[in-house]
Structure 1
Amino acid sequence: MDQNIGQMMERLIRLIAIRFTAFLDRLLVRRRVDGVFFGPLLIDRGRGLLYDVERDLTWLQDTNYAKTAGRSSDGQLTWDNARAWVARLNYRGITKWRLPTALNPDGSGPCIGDNCRDSELGHLVFTAFARPSAGTRLINWNPFSIYWSSTEASATEAFAFKMSGLKQGRLAKDPWAPDPALGAAPPLADVVLTWPVHDGDVAAGFFVRLLEAVLQLVR
């Protein structure tokens, strides 16, 4: 008897989760016609998560979470340390985060210089930022910042996106290492930060995980 009740509750919870996800899709206008999306392109999903509709990516709302989480005092990390930190990141039970790619959606590139709109950070800045849902805002935003990508440029460099000039280009994997020619590290006017991204709409999946956790408690 108890087993039958548990199975019925499990089916009910999964049905509610499916219905809720469909409701979110309608509520947040995730619709498109002939490949064109209507409604906001950047949606505040709550719980510190922002959803890029066109690219089907979830970004942290906190643009300097490495500092917030205590990974470094100012949030700055070398490329290797940024990759390692993001790979281990567990944000509210959500894992499998990564650095954004500098490549274009078709795998070409990366674009270098101005108007690099097709990389993941470029699309976020040039396209998604232009059409946010009402009330969407960033936390700890610094316009004078450079964000790492996952794309290597060489053994010693990786691609990064500079917000102050909206440019994409190469940056030493350790920007603070001394340059033999200068006898010191090259000066940087902007801070070098890490912005984790996740494939898919993980905030919608959170509701499913919550219901499953409730089910475990009542079994």
Structure 2
Amino acid sequence: MDCPELVWRARLATMRPRHEAGTGLPRGAADQPSQGTVMNLSALTRLGLLLAGGCVAAAAQSQSLPTQGTWTTTLQARDLDGNLANGAEAYYDTVLKITWLANADLGLGSAYANFEDQPGAVTWADAKTLVADFNLGGVTGWRLPTVAPINGESFQYYDPNDYWTGQRDQGYNIVSPNSELAHMFHVTLGNKSILDTSGNDQEGFGVSNQGPFSNLSSGNAYWFGTRFLQNPDDPRYPQNRVWLFYPAFGSQGFAKDTNGLLVWAVHDGDVGTALSPVPEPSSLALMLAGLGGTLMLARRRLHD
């Protein structure tokens, strides 16, 4: 089985409806995803990612890419622990007006992360407790990222005809600042969804750019702090669902609140102490060259 087919099977796994306890609904056909099923994390989803793991890695090797996205101009480094020597613990987002923790996997190594095959994964209840109790350098008041309707009025759920356009809250290519995680992924870091806005497969999807952050995962989804309200046109799913964002495919959807997903803590406003930006190597070379020229000119004037 070649790479494109593995990726296709993985994508179908993320879209395929599953049997929900108490609903009596069967699994849907793999080639007929039904409404309300995008990114409903199940065993099939994880199986699909395992199958396509090599393809995802080949498509998007995560690294820090200064020329991709807006992060070099819209994120400002912040010190939280009072030790300037160890670098930034957070980054202020000048567009969303929030501060992102530099460690994009707060649950990793915590007492709440007890999902055997998913390092850092915690339930939604534990995720909320983890961020509420988090204290770094005396800075408290952290929360989970939030999501609000793209259109500012009501959530637009999955539709098989246009879920890739970025105009639906449940789908791909969402660049609206109303979704803090999607905006970070697509705009700030410049990463891509598995489908483009015309619905075609595209290369280089997933976490190709991690920016200045550490532990930004493509192997699991991230919790929002926002409940997934039941789609009135699709009554199969009960109210114990929460919005999520899945970096591996650049998609936004939902999962049971008892599932194990990842935690990226954010803080309203600008917190911490500003750190002076480190000049790029090319800028540093120009600065040194200019300084050298100034010193030579000053020396000549002394000898005149």
Kept after mapping to 2: 8 A contact 1:43/1:136:
no
How far off is 1:43 after superposition? 2.6
The 3-state SS of whatever aligns with 1:80 is helix
Aligned-residue offset at 1:70:
4.7
Report percent identity of matched pairs: 29
The residue correspondences of 1:149-160 to structure 2 (distance < 5 A) are: 149-154=224-229, 155-160=239-244
**Does the aligned pair in 2 maintain the 1:76–1:194 contact within 8 Å?**
yes
Deviations 1:25-83 (A, max 9, x none): xxxxxxxxxxxx99701233343101211111111111112214554252111111111
Is the radius of gyration larger for structure 1 or structure 2?
2
Deviations along 1:90-134, whole A, 9 cap, x unmatched? 122111111111115885454110112220011111111249xxx
1:123 to 156, 159, 183: 183
The equivalences for 1:21-36 within 5 A come to: none
- Is the CA contact 1:44–1:136 (under 8 Å) kept in the aligned structure 2? no
Q: Distance in 2 between matches of 1:108 and 1:151?
A: 15
Question: How many residues get paired?
Answer: 152
Counterpart position of 1:112: 170
Query: Is 1:66 equivalent to 2:101 in the alignment?
Result: no
Q: Are 1:146 and 2:221 counterparts?
A: yes
* Equivalent residue runs for 1:175-194 within 5 Å: 175=259, 192-194=261-263
Q: 1:138 to 1:39 in 2, by over 3 A?
A: closer
For residues 41 and 91 of structure 1, what CA distance do their matches in structure 2 show?
A: 23
2:269 counterpart of 1:200: yes
Structure 1 CA distance for aligned equivalents of residues 149 and 214 of structure 2: 27
- Please state if 1:40 is matched with 2:73: yes
The higher relative CO (CA closer than 8 Å, separation ≥ 6) is in: 1
Counterpart for residue 32 of structure 1: none
SS in 2 for 1:165: coil
CA RMSD of aligned residues (A): 2.9
Q: Give me the whole-angstrom Cα distance separating, in 1, the residues matched to 2:240 and 2:71.
A: 42
Deviations 1:146-176 (A, max 9, x none): 0000110142100000001111111111126
What are the ranges of 5 or more consecutive residues in structure 2 without an aligned counterpart? Answer: 1-69, 79-86, 156-168, 192-209, 230-238, 276-304
Structure (1/2) with the larger helix percentage: 1
Q: Are the aligned partners of 1:42 and 1:129 in contact in 2 as well (CA < 8 Å)?
A: no
- Pick the structure with more strand per residue: 1
Amino acid paired to 2:137: R
TM-score by length of 1: 0.61
The one of 131, 139, 156 equivalent to 1:94 is 139
Q: Distance in 2 between matches of 1:39 and 1:82?
A: 29
Paired AA for residue 170 in structure 1:
F
